[in-house]
Every structure is written in C-alpha cells, then in structure tokens.
C-alpha cells in the first residue's frame, strides 16, 4: 500500500494502529496504490455518441462505453431528461423515471398500433403457460376479475339510473 | 435477428431486431448459445427497476460464439465459445484494478452506484442483453472467458452469474469453521450460496423460503436443513431457538426486492413501489444474526430508500457486506470447482425453453410453475 505517513507526519500518532489485515472489504477488494489517486486512470477509447445518452450528474462525463438499446424518445423521454437533472440520491430522479416507464408502456402500445401491429397482450403476459401449468388458478383469477368489473359496472349503472 | 423485447410490467415478447454492431474498438459480437432468465430479471419484468425502457432486450447470463471483433480486441478470436460475466468492466479504472469488476466506472453513464450490466435497464447502462440471437459485448478482452474444453455449456452459462453470486454471498459472510449459516431464499442463488457455505467450513447450513419444491431441492442439493417460513410462527424466533437463543453467525439475503412474508413490506416495496423493494429477507437476516455477526447481501434492491431495522445493526454490532458478484475475480476458482466436480451448477436447470417462447418462459419462472428452478432460453441456432 502507498506510504502516506510523511504527508501526515505533523499529526502525532498518525497511523500507529493501522492494520492492513483489518479490512472488511477483503477479499472482494484488492487494495492498491490507486486508493488515493482519484479519477486519474488511462481511460479506454470513447465510444462515439450516436444516440442521446443521459448521464448521472454525479459524474463529469459519459462512460467510455454505453448502451444504445433504447434512447429517450417521446413524452417519456422528456420526463427522463427532467429526471436526470437531479442526483441519484434524490426522489426527484427516481420517481420521474418510474413515471416515464409507465408512460413509455402506453407509448409502446401506440407505436405498435401505428405500425399496424395489434399487440397480443395475452400472449405477452405468458398466459399460455398459465393455462398449461396453472389452469385452475388462472380461471379463478379471471372469474374474480370479471365479477369485480361486472359489479362495478352494475353499481355505476344503478347510480346513474337513480340520478 | 430474434430478440426478447420488454413491453411493460409482466409483458415481454419476441421481436425481430437489427443485428448488433461493433460500436467501440474493444467490442465483440457474440452469437448466443444459452441465455438464462435470472431471478433479478424478474425485478425488471415486474416493472420495479427505474428507467426500464420499452423495447429493451434483457439477459445478463449467457454464453455464445464470437462472430465479430473490434480492432483492439487481442485475447479472443472468431469462433471462440465464451461465457460472458454479467458485469461489463473496463479493466482499467481504479475499481476494476481493485478487482471490483461489478463496480466499473467506465461502463454505466446513467448511474454511479453500479457498473454496466447486460440487459438490465438504463440504470445499469442501457445495454441490450443476451436473450437474443446475437449480442454486443463491450470490453471483450476483459470479461468474456473461453469455455474450457470438456465443460458442459449448461455449467458454463451458470458461471456467468448464479455460481459466482452464490459463492460470493458465502465468501462475504466471512464464514469460519463450524459457523451456523442461514440463507434466506431458495432460488438459484440461495441454493448455490447454501452449497458454497460448506466450502468455507460452515458447521450448519439452514435455508428459509416458502416454496416447498425448492426447499425439497436445496435440502438434497446443498445438502442442508430447509424450512418453510409459512409453517413457522416467526422465522427470527425460530432461528434464535435453534441456535441456543443467540442467533446465527452469518445470515445471507439471497432474495432481494421480491420478498414475501411481510404485508407492509410487500405493500410498500412491491405494490406501491415506494421503496427499493420488499426488504423482508434482509429484515429477518439482520434480526436473526448473532451479535457481532455478519449479514451478507446479494439480493438485488432498487436504488431508492428501503426500510430496514438499521438500529438493530448498530445495537448488535453487525457487519453488513454486499456487492454485485465480481465474476471475473472468482472465475478461475469456480471453474476449478466445476471441473473437479465439487460444484454441479447444471443440476439447477429445470427448463430448456426455445427463445421464441420467451413470454411463457418468464411466466413459468415468475409464477414458479412446473416446479421451475432455473430456465435457460435456447436460440434457434443452438437447437440445431
């Protein structure tokens, strides 16, 4: 490990009880001289930025590589851009991202429809597997939901008739 | 190419997507031969992880054959059959140099708390994952490891996450000879953690879960004691009573955000998403461990605040150790364990499912149908 004692020689007793074996991060962390070197390593080449990449305000730059799977777009993208103005330690960051995810889900359905594709939501939910392996519970679940919706509709209709 | 596509909570499907391209001189393009669904993929599937965008392909446990290489890749060659650690690591930053490959600082622009992970939302870098026919693999000289001759590909694919995560869970527990180790969770990682606890000299291993077929499996596989918490009045009191009223030496949380067993945690963490998951297993781990004991966390939680009894951590003098597994650091030892028969990862695999049936595969794993423990997706080319 780097000898930094001379930097603190004016402090009486500095480091006299230091014990490299007393390291709760062992063996996950291989200590080296990089401990106090800061952000000084030779960075890998930078991946060209061909899509919009949002980066945490807790770092100064975009990492050398990054994913390009699904750049921000539409209303959800606008919400994500706002979220990235706050730090990772803020609800102002994470809650808008959760909201954006839900908006993005609706955008996904609309995008499917605009491309002439009607999403097979039952198939996407994997209900074929439920039907094969868990039929009784699936049927019960569907019946309960149908009953709840029917009751709610009947209730609303009766209120409308009363008024 | 065919690739899994996330459409929203509980909705995934197979789509045709463009082939991945080399975007960086240290990239490789890999033709996938096996791709698992991980328990932590279910956090994405359930819509629990912030910044999970519609259209993304999941999958961070995969093997494949190298098809293309960037100009700076030196250690791999076309045709190599590789296992790819779930961590995307540059090998150069201070954290990679310290072998903290799960904490790379050059692979995830969106968040500083975690390095890049294949197919794990933009909170982990926005990379498409391996539940596809082909996948882009950054820093190809660092993570991907050629599968040793004679190793079963089903063993190799579990060396990308399940085995190292279970092993590191036990390693972080600082297990001493004779220690009592309690593992919360009998999913694939919990099963492997229980198995690996013996490698560090545990004297007694107990697994707690609520899924009977998985408890039956771990009881034989680890082998260990296994209990259903629904049949226990209070799992913490049970652990105390069975450890001379002192508590276990080491407790491992191998569940994470989807834990059952506490109505308030379930409501806040899983239904309302007002905390980073349901922390029931972690709560039990903290309260079940001995004073001065160690709690090891490999269960995955979301990035926002989560209710845990932190006061008890202080009052009991507990050491908490946690991290994403550093797969590259652990691989040499774990390959030895698999090759000499000490560990038998592929025994966890209960289902090989065609990639095209990814919607059903997620449902089977998520709802624990057909006694599923570990499903592996098989792309068309791997089935020939």
Tell me the pLDDT tens digit for each residue of A21-38.
Answer: 777 777 788 888 777 888
Could you report the predicted ipTM of this complex, rounded to two decimals? 0.91
Whether residues B223 and B244 fall in one domain: yes
CA B170 to chain centre: 14
A2 half-sphere exposure, CB direction, 13 A CA radius: 10
Question: pLDDT grade, residue A13 (50/70/90)?
Answer: confident
A79: contact with B, CB 8 A cutoff: no
Whether residues A107 and A126 fall in one domain: no
What SS3 state is found at B106? coil
Percentage of chain B exceeding pLDDT 90: 95
For the cut 90, the answer to whether the pLDDT of residue B46 exceeds it is yes
Whether residues A95 and A147 fall in one domain: no
For residues B73-81, give the mean pLDDT.
98
**Who among A34, A104, A129 is closest to B369 (CB)?**
A129
Whether residues A62 and A104 fall in one domain: yes
Q: Which domain holds residue A132?
A: 122-163
Q: Which of B53 and B271 is assigned the larger pLDDT?
A: B53
8 A C-beta contact, residue B88 and residue B16: no
Whether residues B267 and B374 fall in one domain: no
Which of B286, B301, B322 is the last residue before a domain boundary?
Answer: B322
Chain A residues with CB-CB distance to B50 below 8 A: 94, 97-98, 101
Name the least confident of A143-157, B27-41, B65-79, B209-223.
Answer: A143-157
For residues B231-240, give the mean pLDDT.
96
Whether residues A134 and A89 fall in one domain: no
Whether residues B142 and B10 fall in one domain: yes
For the cut 60, the answer to whether the pLDDT of residue B131 exceeds it is yes
Whether residues B171 and B272 fall in one domain: yes
Whether residues B59 and B109 fall in one domain: yes
Query: Cβ–Cβ of B359/A123 closer than 8 Å?
Result: yes
CB contacts under 8 A, A 12-71 vs B, are 24-25, 27-32, 34-35, 37, 39, 41-45, 47-48, 50, 53-56, 58-59, 61-70
Q: Total domain count for chain A?
A: 2
Whether residues B51 and B115 fall in one domain: yes
Q: B212-221 vs B188-199: helix axis angle to the nearest 10?
A: 20
Whether residues B69 and B152 fall in one domain: yes
Detail the DSSP E strand segments found in B165-238: 180-184, 204-209, 225-228
Whether residues A103 and A151 fall in one domain: no
Whether residues A78 and A11 fall in one domain: yes
Q: What is the dihedral of CA B62, B64, B66, B70, to 10 degrees?
A: -20
Whether residues B190 and B251 fall in one domain: yes
Mean pLDDT taken over chain B: 96
Q: Which of B302 and B377 is assigned the larger pLDDT?
A: B377
Which of A102, A119, A136 is the last residue before a domain boundary?
Answer: A119
For the cut 90, the answer to whether the pLDDT of residue B70 exceeds it is yes
Whether residues A92 and A146 fall in one domain: no
For the cut 50, the answer to whether the pLDDT of residue A1 exceeds it is no
Whether residues A34 and A109 fall in one domain: yes
Whether residues A135 and A99 fall in one domain: no
Q: Which helix (H) or strand (E) covers residue B219, if one does?
A: helix B212-221
- Any idea what the Cα angle at residue A135 is, between residues A149 and B378, rounded to 5°? 115
For residues B108-117, give the mean pLDDT.
96
Whether residues B130 and B182 fall in one domain: no
Q: What is the pLDDT of residues A131-141, one digit of tens each?
A: 999 999 989 98
Q: What residues have CB less than 8 Å from B278, skipping those under 6 apart?
A: B257, B258, B259, B260, B262, B265, B266, B268, B269, B270
Which of B294, B322, B350 is the last residue before a domain boundary?
Answer: B322
Q: Total domain count for chain B?
A: 2
What SS3 state is found at A99? helix
For the cut 70, the answer to whether the pLDDT of residue A3 exceeds it is no
Q: What is the pLDDT of residues B159-215, one digit of tens each?
A: 999 999 999 999 999 999 999 999 999 999 999 999 999 999 999 999 999 999 999
Whether residues A50 and A10 fall in one domain: yes
What SS3 state is found at B181? strand
Whether residues B174 and B251 fall in one domain: yes
Any idea what the CATH number is for the domain that residue B27 is in? 3.90.180.10
Question: pLDDT grade, residue B305 (50/70/90)?
Answer: confident
For residues B236-255, give the mean pLDDT.
97
Whether residues A24 and A84 fall in one domain: yes
Any idea what the CATH number is for the domain that residue B230 is in? 3.40.50.720
Query: Cβ–Cβ of A97/B55 closer than 8 Å?
Result: no
Test the B interface: residue of A24, A28, A54 with most B CBs within 10 Å: A28
Which of B290, B322, B354 is the last residue before a domain boundary?
Answer: B322
Percentage of chain B exceeding pLDDT 70: 100
Whether residues B156 and B166 fall in one domain: no
Q: Which domain holds residue B363?
A: 2-161+326-383
Whether residues A55 and A67 fall in one domain: yes
């Amino acid at each position: 490990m780097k000898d930094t004692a001379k930097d603190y020689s004016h402090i009486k007793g500095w480091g006299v009880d230091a014990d490299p074996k007393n390291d709760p991060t062992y063996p996950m962390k291989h200590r080296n001289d990089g401990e106090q070197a800061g952000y000084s390593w030779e960075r890998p080449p930078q991946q060209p930025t061909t899509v919009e990449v949002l980066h945490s305000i807790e770092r100064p730059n975009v990492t050398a590589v990054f994913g390009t799977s699904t750049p921000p777009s539409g209303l959800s993208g606008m919400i994500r851009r706002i979220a990235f103005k706050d730090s990772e330690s803020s609800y102002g960051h994470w809650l808008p991202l959760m909201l954006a995810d839900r908006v993005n889900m609706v955008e996904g359905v609309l995008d499917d429809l605009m491309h002439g594709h009607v999403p097979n939501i039952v198939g996407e939910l994997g209900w074929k597997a439920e039907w094969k392996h868990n039929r009784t519970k699936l049927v019960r679940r569907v019946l309960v939901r149908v009953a709840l919706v029917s009751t709610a509709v009947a209730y609303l209709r009766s209120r409308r008739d009363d008024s | 190419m065919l690739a899994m596509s996330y459409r929203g909570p509980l909705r995934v499907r197979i789509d045709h997507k463009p082939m991945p391209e080399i975007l960086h001189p240290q990239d490789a393009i890999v033709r996938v031969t096996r791709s698992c669904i991980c328990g932590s993929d279910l956090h994405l599937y359930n819509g629990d992880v912030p910044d999970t965008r519609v259209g993304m392909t999941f999958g961070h446990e995969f093997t494949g054959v190298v098809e293309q290489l960037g100009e700076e890749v030196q250690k791999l060659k076309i045709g190599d059959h590789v296992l790819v650690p779930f961590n995307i690591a540059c090998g150069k930053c201070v954290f990679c140099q310290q072998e903290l490959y799960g904490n790379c600082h050059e692979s995830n622009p969106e968040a500083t708390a975690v390095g890049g992970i294949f197919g794990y939302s933009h909170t982990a870098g926005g990379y498409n994952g391996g539940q596809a026919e082909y996948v882009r693999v950054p820093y190809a000289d660092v993570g991907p490891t050629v599968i040793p001759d004679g190793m079963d590909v089903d063993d190799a694919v579990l060396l990308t996450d399940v085995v190292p995560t279970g092993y590191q869970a036990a390693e972080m527990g600082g297990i001493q000879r004779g220690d009592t180790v309690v593992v919360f969770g009998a999913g694939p990682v919990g099963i492997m953690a229980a198995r690996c606890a013996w490698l560090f000299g545990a004297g007694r291993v107990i697994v707690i879960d609520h899924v009977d077929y998985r408890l039956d499996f771990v009881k034989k596989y680890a082998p260990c004691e296994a209990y259903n918490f629904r049949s226990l009045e209070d799992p913490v009191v049970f652990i105390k009573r069975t450890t001379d009223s002192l508590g276990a030496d080491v407790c491992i949380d191998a569940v994470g955000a989807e834990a059952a067993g506490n109505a308030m945690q379930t409501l806040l963490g899983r239904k309302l998403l007002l905390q980073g998951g349901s922390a029931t297993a972690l709560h039990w781990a903290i309260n079940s461990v001995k004073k001065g004991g160690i709690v090891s966390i490999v269960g995955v939680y979301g990035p926002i605040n989560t209710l845990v009894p932190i006061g008890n951590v202080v009052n009991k003098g507990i050491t908490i150790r946690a991290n994403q597994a550093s797969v590259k650091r652990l691989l040499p030892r774990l390959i030895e364990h698999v090759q000499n028969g000490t560990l038998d990862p592929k025994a966890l695999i209960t289902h090989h499912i065609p990639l095209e049936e990814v919607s059903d595969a997620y449902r089977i794993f998520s709802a624990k149908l057909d006694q599923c423990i570990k499903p592996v997706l098989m792309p068309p080319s791997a089935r020939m």
